[in-house]
Amino acid sequence: MSSVAGHPEEIDLIAALRRGDEAAFLTLVRSCQSSMSRVARLFVSSDAVAEEVVQETWLAVLQGIAAFEGRSSVRSWILSIVANRARSRGQREARSAPFSSFDDAEDEPAVDPARFLPSDHPRWPGHWAAPPERWADEKLLAKETLGLMRKAIETLPPAQRQVIVLRDIEGCSAEEVCATLGVSDGNQRVLLHRARSRVRAMLEPHLGGPV
């Protein structure tokens, strides 16, 4: 998903959809469905509800395609629709706290403070005491690591999980995430920072390093 305007490669696809071309529809379903489920699941309490939201979204997409202006990619447009729908559904379910309250604002450090020399160290205060170790790329992209990654993301507080899934798994831009979640650029970045830092820390024992 990119935020570049125009997307000439999608013009044919959009035209085919508007004509009611079933093959074009299935192409779009294949490329978006699993991301849509993932995004919907960020806001609602069960897979079943997420699937309902996704289904409704497809209808909304078909009804809206005639008016789609191509300011973002089709995929990005669809993901923002599914996120918005799932978000209001989630609020009705009263599961997720309103996002704007920025609930998990407690000041959590990116790295365990015990891994640094104390701030009154006479030579190197705040310097690494237990430094990170290099991770091998092969192990990083192994199935086991990616599974661990998925689990790590599931343990995050909802706001952090929403941001990291949209940004790093679905590849949305910062602007798209701010618009979809209704947060400021600064808050988006704080949430992203906490989420990425936590996930890194959770991968560390598996990929090599202290703790």
Point out which residues bind another protein (CB under 8 A).
20, 22, 25-26, 29-30, 33-35, 37, 51, 55, 58-59, 62-63, 109-111, 113, 116, 121-128, 131-135, 137, 140-141, 145-146, 149-150, 153, 164, 168-169, 171, 174, 189, 192-193, 196-197, 199-200, 203-204
Instruction: Identify which of residues 92 and 134 has a Cβ nearer to another protein in the complex.
Output: 134
Compute the distance between CA of residue 194 and CA of residue 162 in angstroms, rounded to an integer.
12
Q: Smallest distance, Å, CB 34 to another protein?
A: 4
Q: Smallest distance, Å, CB 205 to another protein?
A: 13
Q: How far from 64 is each of 16, 59, 186, CA to CA, in Å?
A: 14, 8, 31
Instruction: Identify which of residues 10 and 52 has a Cβ nearer to another protein in the complex.
Output: 52
Four-point Cα dihedral 99, 101, 104, 108, nearest 10: 120
Q: Give the list of residues 6+ apart from residue 23 with CB closer than 8 angstroms, or none.
A: 16
Q: Smallest distance, Å, CB 175 to another protein?
A: 12
Q: Smallest distance, Å, CB 45 to another protein?
A: 19
Instruction: Identify which of residues 8 and 113 has a Cβ nearer to another protein in the complex.
Output: 113
The closest alpha carbon to 98, from 43, 165, 178, 161, belongs to 43
**128 forms bridges with which residues in the sheet?**
116
**Tokens 């988006």 correspond to what residue?**
188
Instruction: Identify which of residues 98 and 131 has a Cβ nearer to another protein in the complex.
Output: 131
